[in-house]
Amino acid sequence: TCGTGYTVSGSFVLNCVSSKYSAAGSTCVANSCVNGPITGADPKSSYSTCNTLTTGQTCTPTCTTGYTASGSFTLVCTGLNYDASGATCSANACTAGPSINSDPAAVYTGCNTLVTGNTCVPSCTSGYTQSGSFTLSCDTSGNYNGAGASCIPNACSNGPNSNIDGAATYTLCNSMVSG
């Protein structure tokens, strides 16, 4: 018989010739890893180059755009498949593109640590209201997407505090905005 990961090719009949066994006409051929990974397949990895291997050969899968390889990324064909449990693709940090801190009235807590595929929703400081779509996302190129949002000052239409001199008029003040 052949060892693990190999298959008999030809006739595997042993003949006794001159007090010795002869296995002429038979060989053990390495199996192909056509069944893909048996465990741990990362959905952000491509194993296409690994599916053409034969027993004992190694390959390095690739990560989809926006992800970087981490862990043990060299896989060994063990017969009909391979174990990919050590291969992981981690999302890249979002670092490129326009500054997300362009609106001084916006609060970007949590947005400065986005990675590929993440989204966040900035808020506005007190006295301001958001205008436009305020969701930022990190694309596969490491850019922030979601420009067009801004914080606009709230109108001061509620008049002055009640402890102000009652003889004064504040008509002009009620048309002012925050800030």
48 pLDDT higher than 60: yes
pTM assigned to the model: 0.59
Nearest to 78 by CA among 42, 34, 12: 34
User: Mean pLDDT of all residues in the chain?
Assistant: 77
Nearest to 95 by CA among 120, 72, 112: 112
Give the pLDDT score at 128: 92
- pLDDT band for 8, please (50, 70, 90 cuts): confident
- C-alpha dihedral over 112, 116, 118, 123, to 10 degrees? 30
Give the pLDDT score at 166: 61
Give the pLDDT score at 51: 77
Give the pLDDT score at 11: 72
% of the chain surpassing 90 pLDDT: 2
* Between 108 and 140, the higher pLDDT residue: 140
130 pLDDT higher than 80: yes
Quote the DSSP letter at residue 147: T
Average pLDDT score over residue span 89-105: 72
- DSSP E strands in the chain: the ranges are 6-10, 15-17, 20-22, 26-30, 37-39, 45-46, 58-59, 62-63, 67-71, 75-76, 82-83, 87-91, 106-107, 119-120, 123-124, 128-131, 136-138, 144-145, 150-153
The Cα-based distances of 79 to 23, 34, 50, 171 in angstroms read 23, 9, 12, 85
38 pLDDT higher than 70: no
Give the pLDDT score at 86: 76
Average pLDDT score over residue span 108-133: 84
Burial class (CB in 10 A: 0-12, 13-18, 19+), 163: exposed
Average pLDDT score over residue span 86-113: 74
